[in-house]
């Protein structure tokens, strides 16, 4: 998700928030939840997944602020 203007479009914010508030489905083992989170969110290109350095590099290049979400999955 690129933060690109002072007023963020509502749809963009909602999508972003749903993605990081959600911590996977019910009825899964802890290991499955962690793997699923990685599969879902690492692949969609929205996040620098567990890669702060890449996020910082991109923020520097694009002169954008960085939003770092720390989320306990299990």
The distance of closest approach from Cβ of residue 37 to other proteins in the complex, given in angstroms and rounded to an integer, is 6
43 burial type by CB count under 10 A (0-12 exposed, 13-18 middle, 19+ buried): exposed
> Which residues does 48 contact at the CB level (< 8 Å), separation at least 6?
54, 55, 58
Residue 36 as a binder of other proteins (CB under 8 A): the answer is no
Q: Is 11 in the site for other proteins (CB under 8 A)?
A: no
In the bound state with other proteins, the residue whose beta carbon lies nearer, of 27 and 62, is 62
Nearer to other proteins, 6 or 26 (CB): 6
């Amino acid at each position: 998700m690129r933060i690109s203007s002072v007023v963020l479009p509502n749809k963009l914010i909602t999508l972003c928030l749903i993605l990081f508030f959600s911590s996977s489905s019910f009825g899964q083992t802890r290991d499955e939840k962690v793997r699923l989170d990685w599969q879902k969110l690492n692949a969609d290109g929205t996040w620098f997944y567990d890669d702060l350095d890449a996020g910082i590099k991109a923020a520097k290049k694009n002169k954008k602020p960085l939003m770092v979400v720390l989320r306990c999955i299990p």
